[in-house]
Amino acid sequence: MNTAILENGVKTRKFDSKNGLFGEYGGMYVPPVLEGKLKNLAAFFEQTKHQPDFEEEYVHYLKTFVGRPSPLYYAHNLSEKVGSKIYLKREDLNHTGSHKINNCIGQILLAKRMGATEIVAETGAGQHGVATATAAALFGIKCKVFMGATDAERQKMNVSRMKLLGAELVLTHEGRATLKDAVDAALGYYIENPDVYYLLGSQVGPHPYPTMVGYFQSVIGKEAKKQILEVEGRLPDHIFACIGGGSNAIGLFSEFLYDDDVAIHAAEGGGEGAIFGKTAATLSMGKPGVFQGTFSYALSNESGDVYPTYSIAAGLDYPGVSPQHALLKDVGRADYHLVTDAEAIEAYKLLSRLEGIIPAIESSHAIALAAKMMKGKKNEISVINLSGRGDKDVERDLM
């Protein structure tokens, strides 16, 4: 098991962040007004994350408020249909209905310790917005959530939930009015109001956000590894997750990165296929460049201009991606696959009817990929991260 490499005579974990970089990816590409603030946040996070009282408080809220550990469920009907043994990591059963709450609780505990009086966030599918609004309500902190008008229209239930929780929802009509545009608007507000705490929801953006989000979401993989060893007595052969920015995927993947016998697969929002302007498959079709504060893959042309994106899944409809996933792609530790809207919709219906579990349309991309790749592999075991529940998608025309 290749858990470490020597770098200048010092052992280092080769897939992890080092000073905000994952290999050549990551970094802090921001205006000077934010650079000092982000450096302070990075230092505060590093000195706080392993303090016993912080860890105890974080675990306390994960257990008593979020409802962790989330179950690892053997999907027996899906397994029979596919012809392979498939488990679901049930992040959809967390309070607020997705994995997003893990990171929100962690970051808001940091914000509280830093004396923050206002939280700002972005959201696409609405799950991060709901989780941020929930955490802000829990700790009595003012909350402002930026969302693209297109996403707000296709995620009406989550819009209502955020408002009920007391968050101020700010719609943006710029661009295609989706996740990229919400991030732009949130970053713009953050630049103009540097005293607020920006609670970024995915594993993207400038350092230290990719490192922080990966850290707080790693609870998924830690639980999943322990659970699969308890029920099967061995590690899975394959693990799967959907990926937009990359937070739920790295949450599952992180604990298995150094287990060489575990194959790692991610499903990107392929939209209508491998056509620029009609897809959000960043790692399948993009190239490295600086985008929204970090150096990673992006769906951009030769001039560096970002293509418009499209995916039926608002949470995957984003032209950038985590710098850690960029590294994993380049070194071949994980593979990334374009999954179309049509394939995701079929998987959405399949899991609902076979298991009585309605998945988020985002998570349905991972189900589609696993069902295709594992077909007939009866002696192999897989774990799929079911990152969110599909209540928010039921009223959409997906049938």
Nearest partner of 334 among 254, 225, 226, judged by Cα: 254
| One-letter amino acid for residue 140 of the chain | G
Furthest CA-CA distance within the chain: 57
User: Three-state SS string across 16-71, please?
Assistant: CCECCEECCEECCCCCHHHHHHHHHHHHHHHHHCCCHHHHHHHHHHHHHHHCCCCC
> Catalytic positions, please?
100, 122, 387
How far is Cα 381 from Cα 84, in angstroms, rounded to an integer?
7
Six-digit token string for 388: 């969110």
Six-digit token string for 59: 């675990």
- Label the pairing between strands 25-26 and 21-22: antiparallel
CA dihedral (88, 338, 296, 145) in degrees, to 10, reads -60
Per the listing, tokens 């499209």 go with: 310
Q: Please, are residues 203 and 247 in contact by the beta-carbon 8 Å criterion?
A: yes
Q: Please, are residues 316 and 247 in contact by the beta-carbon 8 Å criterion?
A: no
CA dihedral (272, 275, 276, 277) in degrees, to 10, reads -30
